[in-house]
Amino acid sequence: MTQSSIEIELSYLRKKIGREKDARMQAEVLLERKSTELFGINQRLLEANQNLDVIVARRTQALKTSTKRIELTTDELQNTVNRLNLVLDIANAVTWLFDVRNQTMDIAGKSQSLLGIEPTRAIPADDLLLRIHKDDAPELIDELNLSLKKGKAINKRCRILSRCGSYRWFLINGELSSFGAKSSLCVIGSCIEMHEQVEREREVWRVANHDLLTGLPNRNHFESQFSVLANESLESGEGFTAALVDINDFTQINDTYGYRIGDGVLRDFADVLRGYSEHTSHIARLSGDEYIVIFKNNIATWSAHELCQKLINECATMSLQNGERLGLSLTMGLAVFPKDGGSLDDLMQSLYSAVQVGKQKKHIGSSCVLYNASIERERFREKDIRNTLKLAIEKQSFDLAFQPIMCNESKCFVGCEALFRWPDMDAQWNIQEVIDVAENSGLILDLGEQVIEMAFAKLSQLTEMGVKKWVAINVSPLQFQFQDVPQLISKALVKYNVDPSMLVIEVTENIFLENITRIATVLSQLKKMGVRVAIDDFGSGYSSLRYVQMLPIDKIKIDKAFVDDVGSGTENQGIVQAVINMSHSMGYKVVAEGVETQEQLIALESMGCDFIQGYFFSKPVSFDELIKLDGFNKAPPLVLKTHLGRTL
Amino acid sequence: MKGIIFTEFIELVETTFGFSIAAALLDGCDLPSGGAYTAVGTYDHQEILTLVGQLQKLTGTPASDLLEAYGLFLFPKLAEQMESMSLQFDGAIDLLCSLETIIHKEVLKLYPDAELPSFKVQNINSQEIVLEYRSCRPFAHLAKGLIDGCGVYYQQTLSVSMKHLDTKTEFFTLLSVRQS
């Protein structure tokens, strides 16, 4: 190595040392700066760390609070679920969810075993629908579809096959909703077991709508069923025939055989009616002895009439529980819906009108009357009479006529019968028709009171005149049923101060149809007051010798229908003779009504009839004319002796 | 550019060419840093270009050869740092494939302001790859030298060929590396 090269190297190394120093200084500055930066970074990291700690602490606290809240919420939720499950158990209920998209059902609740299914999710809906009673399933599916289409709530009772293999009643409620994260469409609801309740309701309904004695539907059920049948009929345009059935004189059966046998007859009759069920759409017992039958639409009226005749024939011989045979007499009225009545009330009115017509013929046996226009006219006529009579009663526009009664033995007038007269009565009406309307409408009660009052006034006049003749007053069975007749008579006796023995109360045989024991008591009361009692129109109705013997009566008036034939030598003459003999044997006097001829008079005299009444002596006349009659006000008072020594 | 590139370059010159060339090199370059480099410092990359250009003049060796020689020299130094970062690879190809995905990421952690070239890898097979070198600096030959150094480091024989591609905005060179 040369000197110069050594110097160059030395120079280089010296410079290098200088550069190394500079470099070291640079590095130290750099180090210092980096150290400062690092310190700064460290500080910032420290702060960041502290901030992070604060944030972490805050977040941790928030997380704890949130966790606590969730725990509480979970507890509450669990409590709610437990309560809900308890309520579901108590109510024998389950909840259900119908997944519309998958057509599956989820059933939840311990009581799901009631439905006969295991606790499984996502049961195919069709599987469950198969368990619903076939009569209920279509309506439930309709409600489900309505819920899906229109959001209508489901509320349906239906029968579901339970695990014990029988159908039980459930109430199914439901509403359209959504579920899950995707808000899938569903119908959610409950299914509550209410078998016992429904069964109770059905039993209550059955009791409320059926007659306990016969088991037939009652009036209440009939009326609701009628609405259904009427609507169906109007919709289809096909009418139907209805028959109102009334058992004639059923009271007599009760009175004769007792209520137990009577009830048996009603039950047997209901069974007979049930035998016609293939032809009928409804049969009901409306009241005691009144039944209604609605024939099916396809039964023509003439067929219905034939069936009614068949029923009548069938009932002509029925066996009683005691082994006796009884002919049940029926009155049936037929009317057609809507021709004869477009509403329940109108149809019933038509049926009652038809029955009413039939009742007029009941003494000749069963009848079946088809409602027609003439019955309608008769109904309006009766209505007209009723309304006019009502006004007349308010105005007291009546009068009495009197027909004298002759004593066969003394040939003197001994009394008279007071007969109701209505001076202003429409010429188209007759007095018997008016009395019938008064009887049927109940107006006879007020009318009867007025007749009693008028008769007493005239009897009082006779007493004041010193004419001691008895006056007979007709009293309706209805008055005996609904009024205190003895009290009425007693008051009148006091008011007019007349001799009770001058008063004769005439009652028809129809009185036997009432409670005979009560009637016997009432008549006895009258007898104790000194008033006489006579059975009017004997032989025209329910002529019961047993009752005649039982009741405290004085006289028997033979009906004009029998008297008409007296002297002709017919069978009726024999009957009259028999009645006279029988009455005498029981100590009763006999009055023959409607005597019009000499022959009749002679025949009755020869038969021993006690009193004669009729046109042969006098038609019914006014009071003024009566007292002018020869022999009525002049003859001495008669003392008549009965065959048993009774004084009349 | 990090200071280690400069300190190691001076070290190479001193070792290879001697103090007199090193003195002539530094005296002949008017460097802003005055040639006082520290490994932890950061310096303008133009200085290395100036130094390489001046060395080419002083030695008559082409700059590309100088840069490749420098790469070969530099790799073991960088490998030491790599080891200090606990980075380990199966071999040269494995390391080269991990340049961007692992090594540069680690470098940027230490020197966030470092401006690194990109090495996109085209895998051909387990023995051969193509590296797409892209940089704003003309150091493709330095890269080749480093690849050579990598082969030496792993005691693997690598053949590296270069293909410069023209671009207006950057330096783009394909470096095909095949291990034999």
- Residue A27, chain B, CB below 8 Å: the answer is yes
B20 → closest Cβ in A8, A18, A26: A8
Would an 8 Å CB–CB cutoff place A11 in contact with chain B? yes
A12 touching B, CB under 8 A? yes
On whether any CB of chain B is under 8 Å from the CB of A113, the answer is no
**Chain B contact present for A35, CB below 8 A:** no
* pLDDT tens, residue by residue, B11-59: 999 999 998 899 999 999 989 988 889 888 888 989 999 999 999 999 9
Q: Which residues contact A501 (CB under 8 A, 6 or more apart)?
A: A470, A530, A531, A532
The answer to whether residue A342 neighbours chain B at the CB level (below 8 Å) is: no
**What pLDDT is attached to residue A118?**
66
Answer yes or no: do A15 and B23 touch at CB < 8 A.
yes
Residue contact B23–A20, C-beta within 8 A: no
- Taking the Cβ of residue B28 and every Cβ of chain A, the question of whether any pair is shorter than 8 Å is answered with no
Of B18, B23, B40, the CB nearest to A30: B40
Q: What is the pLDDT of residue A634?
A: 57
Considering only CB atoms, B40 lies closest to which of A13, A21, A27, namely A27
Q: Which residues of B touch A5 (CB under 8 A)?
A: 20
Q: Report how far residue A532's alpha carbon sits from residue A191's, in angstroms, rounded to the nearest whole number.
A: 77
Q: What is the nearest CA distance from A79 to chain B, expressed in angstroms?
A: 57
What pLDDT shows up at residue A335?
Answer: 95
Say if residues A253 and A326 touch (Cβ distance below 8 Å).
Answer: yes
Place of tokens 């029968």: A159
- Which of A4, A13, A16, A30 to substitute to test the interface with B, most B CBs within 10 Å? A16
Q: What is the pLDDT of residue A647?
A: 33
> Which parts of chain A register pLDDT below 70?
1, 110-120, 362-364, 513-514, 541-543, 569, 633-648
Q: What is the mean pLDDT of chain B?
A: 91
| Residue A25 C-alpha, separation from nearest chain B C-alpha, in angstroms | 9
Q: Is B114 on the interface with A (CB under 8 A)?
A: no
Three-state DSSP at A470 gives: strand
* Cα angle A546-A550-A553, degrees, rounded to a multiple of 5: 115
Question: How close does chain A come to B6, measured CA to CA in Å?
Answer: 12
CB A594 within 8 A of CB A612: no
Q: How far is A181 from chain B (nearest CA, A)?
A: 42
Identify the DSSP state of A559: P
- Asked whether the beta carbons of residue A8 and residue B23 sit closer than 8 angstroms, the reply is yes
Q: Which of B19, B22, B41 sits opposite A26 (nearest CB)?
A: B41
A65 at B interface, C-beta within 8 A: no
Within its chain, how far is the Cα of A477 from the centroid? 28
Beta strands in A100-211 (DSSP E): 104-108, 123-124, 154-161, 167-179, 184-193
> Within a 10 A sphere around the Cβ of A322, how many other Cβ atoms?
11
* Tokens 């034999």, residue located: B180
SS3 per residue for A586-643: CCCEEEECCCCCHHHHHHHHHHCCCEEECCCCCCCECHHHHHHCCCCCCCCCCCCECC
Residues from chain A that touch B36, judged by Cβ atoms under 8 A, are 18-23, 26
Quote the pLDDT of residue A482. 86
- Contact between A19 and B19 using a beta-carbon 8 Å cutoff: no
CB contact under 8 A, A31 and B22: no
Q: Does B36 touch chain A (CB under 8 A)?
A: yes
More confidently predicted of A647 and B117: B117
Of B153, B173, B171, B168, the residue nearest B74 (C-alpha): B153
Contacts of residue A131, defined as CB under 8 A and 6 or more positions apart, other chains included, come to: A115, A116, A117, A160, A161
Q: Which residues of A touch B41 (CB under 8 A)?
A: 23, 26-27, 30
Q: Structure pTM?
A: 0.46
Q: Quote the pLDDT of residue A644.
A: 35
A30 CB neighbours in chain B (<8 A) are 38, 40-41
Q: Which of B44, B68, B49 is nearest to B143 (CA)?
A: B68
Q: What count of other Cβ atoms lies within 10 Å of the Cβ of residue A195? A: 17
CB < 8 Å to B15, chain A:
none
